[in-house]
Amino acid sequence: MMNGKISVWILGDQLLERHPALVAAEAAVGREDLRLVMVESRQRTGKLPYQRKKLVLLFSAMRHYAAELRRQGYQVDIVQATTFAEGLRQHVLSWQPVQLITMAASEYAGRRWQQEQLASLLGVDVKILPNTQFLIGQIDPFPDLAPGKRVVMETFYHQMRRRTGVLMDANGQPEGGQWNFDAANRKPLPKGIQPPALPAFAPDEITKKVMEEVESAGRGLGTVDGFDLAVTREQALAAFDDFLANRLPAFGPYEDAMSSHHRTLYHSAVSPYLNLGLLEPLELVHAAEQAYHEGRAPLNSVEGFVRQVMGWREYIYWQYWRHMPGLIEANAWDAHRSLPSYFWDGQTEMRCLRHAIRRALDTGYTHHIERLMLLTNFCLLAGIEPMAVNNWFLSAYVDAYEWVMLPNVLGMGLNADGGQIATKPYIASANYIDKMSDYCQGCHYDPKQRTGTDACPFNFLYWNFLLENEQPLRANPRLGNAVLGLRYLDEEERRRVRDQAQRFLSETA
Ligand code: SF4
């Protein structure tokens, strides 16, 4: 056993049931001589105009986590301070530990600060344990990978499946004989189908107090009204169980569908809890796998979910650490337009964007296809400056953190990283949106028109993007066919596309 007292700093997005720093500290000095500290930093949560529901989720989940640890007999300080440094200093002054143990932050700047400044700022020994919130870090999918070598998501995902054995048969082959069920998973939502609503969790006294504080701070997006998210691990598990029972079976076929009537369709919507540490990736993946083996969900749905958690989410985190800090500067398409003002109020006649933006501002959530094929698709076609788009997502979404948004928005959505993360720009005209949603019915614009008064902006912006970037796009084997479509545009039509795109962009900037 160690002599002296220990502090354990638990970050707000590391609310793990068995936090490694807590386990290590207890093993070193026992429960009596350790104290946990959590800091609500005004500077950090005021960095951007954050979604109020996100702030409620974060602070309420932290305070519930502290309450649960106190119930288990731990001493816990929750400190409200201007900065993390100030809050930790206050704690260190009163508790006088010989060492502070923490887990590495999931974000680049925070981790660098922990590693390079924290010990000298506090004047105590600091021990930083590896981050266990992701499978990456516990499993290295490519131990011999050469630095800078490009790995596409599909390769990464196969390797994660092999290394964990998830959805692998006894012969080491993917369950069902194939890795990918995309062909069965790209259906629009049929008319008249009503997906089940998400479970709602009524705010308790802790959450109500946080809601009052966030509201009275007078800053941020949206409103605290209607807050009904899970704020404890128990509630987050209940939310996930509800997904397994009621939505997972139909998740696969409709995972790319978009609807003006349903915000979450058959999605799990557990990313806010996963990204806070209330849920852990492997337990979700194993539970979905078990649902398949017990005949409660078909393979295409279970594989689609496993792909999201063990494929995309881990790949994104892995790529974030491979490409930081350079990712912040990425702007391969040289995009410099400002974010249109309707991203902050939803006042646009584009019905699809209006719905997606208002959902994001009101609830902090839209599912991944609305993020990719509406919001970032539009921003890429319109040449919006990548970090402006990134910061909008970081502000508006309840599940947004830098490690997920930078690679998702700059890499996958805007292709600003030169194709390191996604091998093609995800661009689409109104044709895709019309096929996968009901948005175009009743829209001010006509999804069939390329140019003219009623033409859908997604159309002339799409063709304008192809015209402007014909050479680099032609060189991409995954986009060659799209560029070939340019041969059907005569000079007059090309001029009309360009003129209308320029007019639209200058009017909406
Ligand atoms: Fe969106 Fe265009 Fe369809 Fe309107 S017509 S909903 S702007 S894709």
Q: Let me know: does 301 contact 252? Beta carbons within 8 Å.
A: yes
DSSP string, 298-357: -HHHHHHHHIIIIIIIHHHHHHHHHHTTGGGG--TT---BPPPGGGTT---S-HHHHHHH
**Tell me, what DSSP letter sits at residue 427?**
-
Listed in order, strand segments (DSSP E) in 343-458 are: none
The helix (H) or strand (E) run that includes residue 119 is helix 118-122
**Tell me, what DSSP letter sits at residue 165?**
T
Task: Give the model's pLDDT for residue 487.
Answer: 83
Vertex 333: Cα angle to 106 and 391 (nearest 5): 40
Closest protein CA for atom 2 of ligand 1: 456
Vertex 13: Cα angle to 98 and 108 (nearest 5): 80
Q: For residue 165, what are its two tokens?
A: 């054995």
Q: What is the mean pLDDT of residues 210-238?
A: 95
Q: Is the CB of 281 under 6 A from ligand 1?
A: no
Q: What is the mean pLDDT of residues 8-35?
A: 96
Q: Is the CB of 456 under 6 A from ligand 1?
A: yes
The pTM for the full model equals 0.95
The CA radius of gyration of the chain, in Å to the nearest whole number, is 24
Query: Is 170 a residue whose pLDDT tops 70?
Result: yes
Per-residue pLDDT band for 482 (boundaries 50, 70, 90) equals: confident
Write down the mean pLDDT value for the chain: 94
For 139, other C-beta atoms within 10 Å of its C-beta total 15
Q: Is the CB of 440 under 6 A from ligand 1?
A: yes
Q: Let me know: does 438 contact 404? Beta carbons within 8 Å.
A: no
Listed in order, strand segments (DSSP E) in 63-114 are: 75-81, 99-103
The amino acid at residue 426 is Y
Task: Give the model's pLDDT for residue 506.
Answer: 92
Closest protein CA for atom 6 of ligand 1: 440
Q: Let me know: does 373 contact 422? Beta carbons within 8 Å.
A: no
Q: Is the CB of 432 under 6 A from ligand 1?
A: no
CA distance to 150, 459, 484, per residue, from 480 (Å)? 21, 18, 6
Task: Give the model's pLDDT for residue 474.
Answer: 81
Q: What is the mean pLDDT of residues 463-471?
A: 92
Per-residue pLDDT band for 509 (boundaries 50, 70, 90) equals: low
Distance CA 308, CA 285 (A): 10
Long-range contacts of 354-359 (CB under 8 A, 24+ apart): 355/260, 355/439, 359/263
Q: For residue 465, what are its two tokens?
A: 């993007």
Distance CA 254, CA 57 (A): 28
Tens of pLDDT, residues 415-440 = 999 888 888 889 999 999 999 999 99
Per-residue pLDDT band for 149 (boundaries 50, 70, 90) equals: confident
Q: What is the mean pLDDT of residues 302-318?
A: 96
Question: What is the number of the ligand 1 atom nearest to the C-alpha of 439?
Answer: 6
For 496, other C-beta atoms within 10 Å of its C-beta total 18
The amino acid at residue 38 is M
Q: Is the CB of 350 under 6 A from ligand 1?
A: yes
Query: Is 204 a residue whose pLDDT tops 80?
Result: yes
Task: Give the model's pLDDT for residue 138.
Answer: 85
C-alpha 126 to ligand 1 mean position (Å): 54
Q: For residue 364, what are its two tokens?
A: 């902090």
Per-residue pLDDT band for 219 (boundaries 50, 70, 90) equals: confident
Q: Is the CB of 445 under 6 A from ligand 1?
A: yes
**Tell me, what DSSP letter sits at residue 429?**
-
CA distance to 118, 229, 500, per residue, from 9 (Å)? 11, 25, 55
Scored b (16 or more CB within 10 A) or e, 419-435 reads bbbbeebbbbbbebbbe
Indicate the angle between helix axes 314-323 and 153-164, nearest 10 degrees. Answer: 120
Distance CA 93, CA 409 (A): 41
Per-residue pLDDT band for 473 (boundaries 50, 70, 90) equals: confident
Task: Give the model's pLDDT for residue 420.
Answer: 87
Per-residue pLDDT band for 1 (boundaries 50, 70, 90) equals: low
Task: Give the model's pLDDT for residue 176.
Answer: 95
Q: What is the dihedral of CA 351, 356, 360, 365, to 10 degrees?
A: 150
Query: Is 244 a residue whose pLDDT tops 70?
Result: yes
> Any idea which residue has 């702007």 for tokens?
331
Per-residue pLDDT band for 508 (boundaries 50, 70, 90) equals: confident
Tens of pLDDT, residues 96-128 = 999 999 999 999 999 999 999 999 999 999 999
DSSP string, 1-52: --SS-EEEE--TT---TT-HHHHHHHHHHTTTTEEEEEEEEHHHHTSS--BH
β-bridge mates for residue 446, sequence order: 455
Query: Is 182 a residue whose pLDDT tops 90?
Result: no
Task: Give the model's pLDDT for residue 76.
Answer: 97
Ligand 1, from 378, 440, 446, 449: best to mutate by most atoms within 8 Å of Cβ? 440
Q: What is the mean pLDDT of residues 65-80?
A: 97
> Any idea which residue has 């600060």 for tokens?
113
Ligand 1, from 349, 351, 463: best to mutate by most atoms within 8 Å of Cβ? 351
Distance CA 64, CA 273 (A): 13
For 300-314, 406-420, 422-436, 483-497, which range has the lowest pLDDT when averaged over its residues? 483-497
Query: Is 54 a residue whose pLDDT tops 80?
Result: yes
Q: What is the maximal distance between C-alpha atoms in the chain? A: 82
Indicate the angle between helix axes 205-217 and 52-71, nearest 10 degrees. Answer: 140
In 144-277, which residue ranges form alpha helices assigned H by DSSP? 153-164, 205-217, 233-246, 248-251, 271-274
Q: What is the mean pLDDT of residues 284-298?
A: 98
Closest protein CA for atom 5 of ligand 1: 447
C-alpha 178 to ligand 1 mean position (Å): 35
Q: For residue 370, what are its two tokens?
A: 């609305």
